[in-house]
A and B are shown apart, each in its own frame.
Chain A
Amino acid sequence: MKFKRAWSLLAAMTLGVGLLAACGQEGKDGASGGKDGDEIKIGVNLELSGAVASYGTSEADGIQLAVDEINKDGGIDGKKIKLVKIDNKSDPAEATNAAIKLTTQENVVAIIGAATSGATVAQAQIANDNKTPLISPSGTSPTVTVNDKGEVNEYVFRTSFIDPFQGTVAANFAANDLGVKNVAIFSDNASDYSKGLASSFKKDFEKSGGKIVAEESYVAKDSDFRSTLTRIKSAKPEFIFIPGYYEEVGLIVKQAREMGIDVPLMGADGWDSPILMDLAGAEALNNTFTTNHYSSDDPDGAVKAFNDKFNDKYSKAPDAFNALGYDTVYLLKDAIERAGSADSTKIKDELAKTDGLDLVTGNYSVDENHHPIKSATILEYKDGEQVFNTKVNP
């Protein structure tokens, strides 16, 4: 009896493995069709639902605008772009699954995504193994393109600048433009993004002669920050750096203002979401600053042109994630054109050579670590509006 069951189990397993292998085979055959056909298949692996859905859906809008535009003008070298969109639900494990699906079943030539660093790092190995370029529009952590051993992820690129740069910009802005000396840092202990920004801010602010009077952390998904804010308040900082994501930052800003903390607060691109305004309220957000990739108030000509096109299609002003999604498609288009074919390995080689490409979010070059060299913008919240403050070059 026992033997019989073991045999049938073994038989079932063998069958199962056979089926899987067959599937894989079929997938690979489909691949060549997709890559050499008259269309270029590009995978989109974004946070379309879940905690940071606002980033992913914004980028998807920007991507769609760029693709529609390119296809209307006859595509890339006569080939139309076809997008394959998968929702990774703001979850790194789902992002990995989506990347496997895109590379092995859909056989895309490149993947755009994910919006957050964590979900991008989760796919990096798959991109390298399957030799498919992966471009994150807004994964700002250095670990996206450089792994823990310090080796460059050959197939991974990004459109945005990196965290240390945002931290440096914030530190310089606090020290020079605001002229503060004693500051506090309140960061998200569960996020590489937040910790990366906090450490570069700390390093550069101390270098410029400032003092960190309090360094506190929270864990994503918390909703009660009053006790830690009380602790920060008693250290009497003149400025608080809060490099977090909008869901928690909205509550932190609101609770801090309620407790009578009226010093300038500053964060980075993680703040950029309409939900921040709903959570914190326009009044609490006065006297807060963010570093960002882009501002729709920027007087630059390319930005104006993009604003108009975006407004025509979606009837609203674009945010930074819209612009980064849009730019990512053009970054990829530029590499495909220079490569002369939609071959993933050639695209990767050309992406690594990108130099001085003019994009909406600034002039883009890439260094040997696949870190972009580009400018950053400082925005200020004024009565519920994000206002362009200044632009900082690397």
Chain B
Amino acid sequence: MEWLQQLINGISLGSIYALIALGYTMVYGIIKLINFAHGEVFMIGAFIGYISIAGWGLGFFPALLLSMTVCAVIGVVIERIAYKRLRNATRIAALITAIGVSLLIQNGVIYLRGAQPAAYPDVFANKSFNLFGAQISTQAILILSVSVVLMLILQFVVHKTKIGKAMRAVSYDAEAAKLMGINVDNTISATFAIGSALAGAAGVIFGIYYTKIDPLMGVIPGLKAFVAAVLGGIGIIPGAVAGGLVLGVVETVVSALGFSPWRDAAAFIILILILIFKPSGLFGKNTREKV
């Protein structure tokens, strides 16, 4: 049952990509900015989880909530300081600023604690059991359930609450939303807060599942999540989840076939192919450019 084991491996990896990709896609959906500092929020989330578990002895759920809260605040602060005044600037200016913020956070963390990795403590006794010949660990199950619950909550927030309605309105047409009395600034901040909280959660989950965290850990997962978001159709929330899962499974399949050194390359080949053949992504509609 090797394929079943590989499918489980792929889905676990993919659900982490999906959680990060959600933040990318939400921010892009609302202000058309690719927030390259998002991977760094993920890294900070992992470190906050680490400090609260290893340093203060908190359990998994309090650490997860704390990390999500702090990341939400950091996301809003980044938006207010770095991106808000560039809202009417060219998109390339905002993009370059995002890369700058990303480098600032990486090197700031290296300055504060050094570049050496840290090892996540074991929060649960990790048991694995056998399902049709595949080994599933309790950790993998926990990761999947936490990811699914968070995605359901997000779906609820976006579609059933007032702030969700405001986010969809701003995303559709910011000017019109403003005229209708929606506070666009607060709505954008809320989007950053939610996206960053999800990245923080992904950071804690990553730490528990993969053990090792370091200040540059956000770079590759951040880029992969970006690929996942583009794959699903950037700006489309279900697309980010699907893109993340597909990417996780594809990477696992590449390794499973014995091409593990090609795994990262496979992710970026997908990005190139998508951009060539279906730039709007798997879930995107082809919109004709208006003249």
Q: Is residue A208 within 8 Å, beta carbon to beta carbon, of the partner chain?
A: no
The 0/1 profile, CB within 8 Å of B marked 1, for residues 240-263 of chain A is 000000010011001000111000
Q: Is residue B135 within 8 Å, beta carbon to beta carbon, of the partner chain?
A: yes
Q: Judge whether A49 and B256 touch: CB under 8 Å.
A: no
Q: Judge whether A224 and B261 touch: CB under 8 Å.
A: no
Q: Judge whether A51 and B115 touch: CB under 8 Å.
A: yes
What is the CA–CA distance of A31 and B260 in the complex, to the nearest angstrom?
50
Interface hits, B243-291 → A, CB 8 Å: 251-253, 255-256, 258, 260-261, 263-264
Q: Judge whether B119 and A278 touch: CB under 8 Å.
A: yes
B residues near A234, Cβ cutoff 8 Å: 2
With A223-B210, A259-B128 known to touch, is A230 a contact of B119 (CB < 8 Å)? no
Q: Judge whether A227 and B128 touch: CB under 8 Å.
A: no
Measured between C-beta atoms, what is the minimum distance from B252 to chain A in Å?
4
Report the interface size for chain A: residues with CB under 8 A from the other chain: 33
Q: Is residue A226 within 8 Å, beta carbon to beta carbon, of the partner chain?
A: yes
B residues near A221, Cβ cutoff 8 Å: 220
Q: Judge whether A228 and B212 touch: CB under 8 Å.
A: no
Report the interface size for chain B: residues with CB under 8 A from the other chain: 34
B residues near A230, Cβ cutoff 8 Å: 2, 5-6, 9, 256
Q: Is residue A100 within 8 Å, beta carbon to beta carbon, of the partner chain?
A: no
A residues near B212, Cβ cutoff 8 Å: 223, 247, 250-251, 279
Q: Is residue B126 within 8 Å, beta carbon to beta carbon, of the partner chain?
A: yes
What is the CA–CA distance of A291 and B260 in the complex, to the nearest angstrom?
26
B residues near A49, Cβ cutoff 8 Å: 114-116
Q: Is residue B100 within 8 Å, beta carbon to beta carbon, of the partner chain?
A: no
Measured between C-beta atoms, what is the minimum distance from A128 to chain B in Å?
31
> Considering only CB atoms, which chain B residue lies closest to A227 in the complex?
B255
Interface hits, A332-390 → B, CB 8 Å: none
Q: Judge whether A227 and B6 touch: CB under 8 Å.
A: yes
Q: Is residue B195 within 8 Å, beta carbon to beta carbon, of the partner chain?
A: no
Q: Is residue B108 within 8 Å, beta carbon to beta carbon, of the partner chain?
A: no
A residues near B220, Cβ cutoff 8 Å: 221
Binds B, one of A77-85, A134-142, A211-219: A211-219
What is the CA–CA distance of A295 and B206 in the complex, to the nearest angstrom?
35
A residues near B251, Cβ cutoff 8 Å: 224, 227
What is the CA–CA distance of A51 and B2 in the complex, to the nearest angstrom?
33
Q: Judge whether B210 and A275 touch: CB under 8 Å.
A: no
Q: Is residue A287 within 8 Å, beta carbon to beta carbon, of the partner chain?
A: no
Measured between C-beta atoms, what is the minimum distance from A215 to chain B in Å?
9
Tell me the interface secondary structure of chain B in the complex: helix
Q: Is residue B233 within 8 Å, beta carbon to beta carbon, of the partner chain?
A: no
Contacting residue for B135 out of A54, A189, A259, CB 8 A? A259
Q: Is residue B13 within 8 Å, beta carbon to beta carbon, of the partner chain?
A: yes
What is the CA–CA distance of A281 and B126 in the complex, to the nearest angstrom?
12
Measured between C-beta atoms, what is the minimum distance from A217 to chain B in Å?
6
Contacting residue for A258 out of B2, B10, B126, B217, CB 8 A? B126
What is the CA–CA distance of A93 and B67 in the complex, to the nearest angstrom?
36
Q: Judge whether B115 and A227 touch: CB under 8 Å.
A: no
B residues near A18, Cβ cutoff 8 Å: none
Q: Judge whether A231 and B258 touch: CB under 8 Å.
A: yes
B residues near A228, Cβ cutoff 8 Å: 255-256, 260
Measured between C-beta atoms, what is the minimum distance from B92 to chain A in Å?
27
What is the CA–CA distance of A281 and B119 in the complex, to the nearest angstrom?
10
Interface hits, A170-219 → B, CB 8 Å: 189-190, 216-219
Q: Judge whether A275 and B252 touch: CB under 8 Å.
A: no
Q: Is residue B211 within 8 Å, beta carbon to beta carbon, of the partner chain?
A: yes
Measured between C-beta atoms, what is the minimum distance from B139 to chain A in Å?
8
> Considering only CB atoms, which chain A residue lies closest to B264 in the complex?
A219
Q: Is residue B137 within 8 Å, beta carbon to beta carbon, of the partner chain?
A: yes
Measured between C-beta atoms, what is the minimum distance from B258 to chain A in Å?
7
Interface hits, B115-149 → A, CB 8 Å: 115-119, 122, 126, 128, 135, 137
What is the CA–CA distance of A234 and B118 in the complex, to the nearest angstrom?
31
Q: Judge whether B128 and A281 touch: CB under 8 Å.
A: no
Contacting residue for A251 out of B118, B122, B211, CB 8 A? B211
Measured between C-beta atoms, what is the minimum distance from A275 to chain B in Å?
7
A residues near B6, Cβ cutoff 8 Å: 227, 230
Measured between C-beta atoms, what is the minimum distance from B136 to chain A in Å?
10
Q: Is residue A70 within 8 Å, beta carbon to beta carbon, of the partner chain?
A: no
- 4 tightest CB-CB pairs across the interface, nearest first? A278-B119, A227-B255, A223-B210, A227-B252
Taking A227-B255, A258-B137, A275-B117 as known contacts, 5 extra A-B pairs with beta carbons closer than 8 A to each other, sorted by chain A number, are A221-B220, A251-B211, A254-B211, A275-B116, A278-B119
Residues of chain B whose beta carbon lies under 8 Å from any beta carbon of chain A: 2, 5-6, 9-10, 12-13, 114-119, 122, 126, 128, 135, 137, 206, 210-212, 217, 220, 251-253, 255-256, 258, 260-261, 263-264
11 contacting pairs across A/B (C-beta < 8 A): A51-B117, A219-B263, A223-B210, A223-B212, A223-B217, A227-B9, A227-B10, A259-B128, A275-B117, A279-B117, A279-B119
